[in-house]
Structure 1
Amino acid sequence: AFIQSDVCGTALRTLGQLVFLQNNNEPVATTYFDQRVPVPDEDTEKRISLRKLWAFTGPGFLMSIAYLDPGNIESDLQSGAKAGFKLLWVLLGATVIGLLLQRLAARLGVVTGMHLAEVCNRQYHTVPRIILWLMVELAIIGSDMQEVIGCAIAFNLLSSGRIPLWGGVLITIIDTFVFLFLDKYGLRKLEAFFGVLITIMAITFGYEYVTVALDQAQLLKGMFVPYCEGCSPVQLTQAVGIVGAVIMPHNIYLHSALVKSREVDRSNKKEVKEANKYFFMESTIALFVSFLINVFVVAVFAEAFYQKTNAEVHSVCNESGSPHSDLFPLDNGTLEVDIYKGGVVLGCFFGPAALYIWAVGILAAGQSSTMTGTYSGQFVMEGFLNLRWSRFARVLFTRSIAITPTLLVAVFQDVHHLTGMNDFLNVLQSMQLPFALIPILTFTSLPSLMNEFANGLVYKIGGGLVILIVCAINMYFVVIYVTTLNAVWLYVLAALLSIAYLTFVGYLAWLCLIALGVSCLDPSSRRGNDTTILIEQQPEFDS
């Protein structure tokens, strides 16, 4: 009876507001929103309007690019080459989990009118907010390095090695700046350009899929039957790597910002509800397309190169006249592939056309994900730091942060030996995952932010379990990676960093538990209301 009382509900609500501090900083006008896309005025409460769905189409496809970046493509091809079709169900499950998390991100942006970085800026103390920003920036840098290097590898393959890795990086920097200013010619034109890049990926990787002529029954079995009979530790580690590659922290921040590009009256409950519905439908379609493209890549390498040895590949490359046969030593070791070697072996087995088409697909994946990664960096910096720089200065600064380490890698690293760096960057992004998942569950569960659109009990429990499982899986991936380094000083350093890391994650998790408790026990969270309560309208509290 005491728990249900208004006194307890008021006390818990006040506690939640004391923990999640607010300030009066107004959201910054961001680069992407010089214009907003109007939504047709139709009554679609009991049906689905294709016109409205088209109006809301765009943000989900830009978000889905992160599921198709070169890091994901490399994870896909390694999954197929090392485990065949056995891990397709992991890819399917990770994509479904990603869709549910993206739904939370979109709802936050639609209901509050702010993206996740802006909400973090308003709700967290200064020190945790700065630490959180640094962690997210690390994730963006890691992802951006993979994307730019992927573009550089594609240029190297297309030019038959004439364009070195560092040259490809410089080309990517220049053309990314050019493409980023496309939104000045219209937001829909920019979104259409991303649609073209996704179409190129679907055609190129689909071509490889058709060329291989794989066993469809094995593919369906691997996709819908969760098993891994006789899986080795390497294959199990690869399964963990799939989850880490698919669910990316900066993409949660990105999607919560992209949905602000549509004209939605947040004071109108019906419009907000409708926007949530159509954004979820669009995200489902976009991630289904990205899932099919990922399946194309896994299936090609599962059918053609699973259990192949280096000696077999070396022999075929020699017979085909490939100049890259020296990449594969004359031994019976299992074939190890990455984005570069993947293109080479496709050229050896299926002809030069397969290599160049593969390179075009990688270029489209790298270029599109590089652009969305840059947008992520802008939204994160603008939101966390409340920056009011010019558009060009913001683009230049956020681009430079990620490009500098990428150039260093390109100058001092050989294009043939980048797999180790890619593994490290996957680990880096895996470690940053809690810094997106915990805040998004926290804020979408607060009635003071979301009102009647706050997460229900099932979603809170389910979301908490999913986040716990995903973070545990990724931490396992990190531990496996560290134990392969065989250096005592690295173990000591990793232990010290782990203590600080887990302390901060525990702090965020504790605030999340308080938010979940407030939303579960606060009677106002169950009270209907015709208007959406905005964060700007909430009372301000001091700590």
Structure 2
Amino acid sequence: MSIAYLDPGNIESDLQSGAKAGFKLLWVLLGATIIGLLLQRLAARLGVVTGMHLAEVCNRQYRTVPRIILWLMVELAIIGSDMQEVIGCAIAFSLLSSGRIPLWGGVLITIIDTFFFLFLDKYGLRKLEAFFGLLITIMAITFGYEYVRVSPDQGELLKGMFVPYCEGCGPAQLTQAVGIIGAVIMPHNIYLHSALVKSREVDRSNKKDVKEANKYFFIEASMALFVSFLINVFVVAVFAEAFYGQTNEEVVKKCVFSSVLLLSVLQGVVLGCFFGPAALYIWAVGILAAGQSSTMTGTYSGQFVMEGFLNLRWSRFARVLLTRSLAITPTLLVAIFQDIQHLTGMNDFLNVLQSMQLPFALIPILTFTSLPSLMDEFANGLVYKIGGGVVVLLVCAINMYFVVVYVAALQSVWLYVLAAFLSIAYLTFVGYLVGNISPSRGAAQDLDDK
């Protein structure tokens, strides 16, 4: 679960946030992480109390057509996340090889990690978790080194983290704020966490044991997200201190005069120009660890989602082969025919796409954990219901605002019509999820059947 908050999409969002807005959006990162923690708590509670993960509950509660649409939306989020992992690994391989490995070569190399993790998975979940822990440690050390090396202004950092403001922010900074939310609160991670808790043995007939399991899962999630939050703050702070307020021309000029390879500028990672080549390669190692470790996040969540929604039990090999192929194909085409700037733009778009998919995870988890027939005494209270509803409305409002901004900038009549149609369909489906659970397939009966 912690890995999903540290994938290349998060890292890219962090560095863009620091470079474009300085420390001003750290409060957005903090708020998104806290909301993410509360949602992970609900996901874990659903799995512990019912013995089913979120996709399985959706299969039992929604009718066929909306269930398939919901599955497709979650799959889209998973593929988008997988593309970000591919992009991050490709950039890291290119940096570590000083450009000898082209971007398209790095994309192809990421196919190998698929087989590596499938091999590692055979040795059990605990060994896989231990390896993930090693990669998180590598990220903490590498990005922590960058943080210490740059020495950002601690006063400005704390102000940006705890004072909700964004003085002088324009559309670029607002778009970046949405990207942070989409990068941090990832839809498929909610589905994933509700299934991962089933790997622990819990006596669900004993309410005391269930309550204790919920408590310790929350403590575990809090620790995991605290570590991931610190690493994300390291990245934002480094780029805020180094690059905020500088133009591209100023950065390029400094890199040229510093006799450091211009390659780092072309790839959008110019730490080496400012703080020496070691910073560049240490950064690349951290990005590679992020990309490699997050590979199995999409694999596991895709496996659970497909099994839950469709009752299809593919092998992990077939599942990874499908999603990785769908992710690599468009990324490879961009890497071959375009440049790093287009890959970065694609990553920004994917973060906003994750934000668009959020209601398709938020609404089901809030709905089902609020049902007394399903959760018994562990159902959500009034505070969670009201707070969850506000978050869903806020996310939908932000998404619609940026659809309007994006379409208005392109000034195309056909795009206006298409955007209007898709927006109506999007909001209609969100409204359906909010208020329509199949009455013929009650939660209590589902538990009896199970």
Identify the TM-score tier after normalising by the shorter chain: over 0.9
Give the length in aligned residue pairs: 448
Deviation at 1:320, TM superposition (A): 1.7
Pairing 1:190–2:128 present:
yes
Pairing 1:362–2:287 present:
yes
Pairing 1:475–2:386 present:
no
Within 5 A, what are the aligned runs for 1:512-523?
none
> What's the counterpart of residue 382 of structure 1?
307
> Quick one: which of 69, 74, 78 aligns to 2:16?
78
Deviation at 1:235, TM superposition (A): 2.1
Aligned AA for 2:289?
A
> What's the counterpart of residue 430 of structure 2?
505
Once residues 256 and 413 of structure 1 are traced to their aligned partners in structure 2, the CA distance between those partners, rounded to angstroms, is 39
1:446-470 Cα distance to aligned partner (Å, 9 max, x none):
1121111111122111221122223
Deviation at 1:266, TM superposition (A): 1.3
- Is contact 2:8-2:291 (8 Å) kept? yes
Once residues 121 and 533 of structure 1 are traced to their aligned partners in structure 2, the CA distance between those partners, rounded to angstroms, is 14
> What's the counterpart of residue 141 of structure 1?
79
Once residues 503 and 256 of structure 1 are traced to their aligned partners in structure 2, the CA distance between those partners, rounded to angstroms, is 26
Once residues 176 and 318 of structure 2 are traced to their aligned partners in structure 1, the CA distance between those partners, rounded to angstroms, is 40
Q: Residue 427 of structure 1 aligns to a residue in which SS?
A: helix
Q: 1:413 to 1:187 in 2, by over 3 A?
A: same
> What's the counterpart of residue 414 of structure 1?
339
> What's the counterpart of residue 54 of structure 1?
none
Within 5 A, what are the aligned runs for 1:8-27?
none
> What's the counterpart of residue 87 of structure 1?
25
Query: Which piece of structure 1 moves more, 265-274 or 477-486?
Result: 477-486
- Is contact 1:212-1:304 (8 Å) kept? yes
More helix per residue: 1 or 2?
A: 2
Within 5 A, what are the aligned runs for 1:202-351?
202-324=140-262, 340-341=267-268, 343=269, 345-351=270-276
Q: 1:325 to 1:408 in 2, by over 3 A?
A: closer
Pairing 1:397–2:322 present:
yes
> What's the counterpart of residue 98 of structure 1?
36
> What's the counterpart of residue 152 of structure 1?
90
Deviation at 1:484, TM superposition (A): 3.3
- Is contact 1:442-1:511 (8 Å) kept? no
Aligned AA for 2:104?
W
1:77-132 Cα distance to aligned partner (Å, 9 max, x none):
11111111111111111110111111111111111111111111111100111111
Q: 1:416 to 1:238 in 2, by over 3 A?
A: closer
Pairing 1:352–2:290 present:
no
Pairing 1:436–2:361 present:
yes
Once residues 310 and 444 of structure 1 are traced to their aligned partners in structure 2, the CA distance between those partners, rounded to angstroms, is 48
> Quick one: which of 369, 372, 375 aligns to 1:450?
375
1:183-210 Cα distance to aligned partner (Å, 9 max, x none):
3212211101111111111111111100
Once residues 479 and 368 of structure 1 are traced to their aligned partners in structure 2, the CA distance between those partners, rounded to angstroms, is 36
| Residue identity (%) | 85
- Is contact 1:150-1:366 (8 Å) kept? yes
Deviation at 1:391, TM superposition (A): 4.2
Aligned AA for 1:357?
I
Higher Rg of the two aligned structures: 1
RMSD: 2.2
> What's the counterpart of residue 119 of structure 2?
181
Q: 1:483 to 1:160 in 2, by over 3 A?
A: farther
TM-score by length of 1: 0.78
Gaps of 5+ in 1: 1-62, 329-339, 520-531
- Is contact 2:264-2:272 (8 Å) kept? no
> What's the counterpart of residue 537 of structure 1?
448
- Is contact 1:152-1:169 (8 Å) kept? yes
- Is contact 1:264-1:272 (8 Å) kept? yes
Gaps of 5+ in 2: none
TM-score by length of 2: 0.94
Once residues 203 and 264 of structure 2 are traced to their aligned partners in structure 1, the CA distance between those partners, rounded to angstroms, is 61
Q: 1:396 to 1:418 in 2, by over 3 A?
A: closer
Query: Which piece of structure 1 moves more, 198-207 or 308-317?
Result: 308-317
- Is contact 2:50-2:447 (8 Å) kept? no
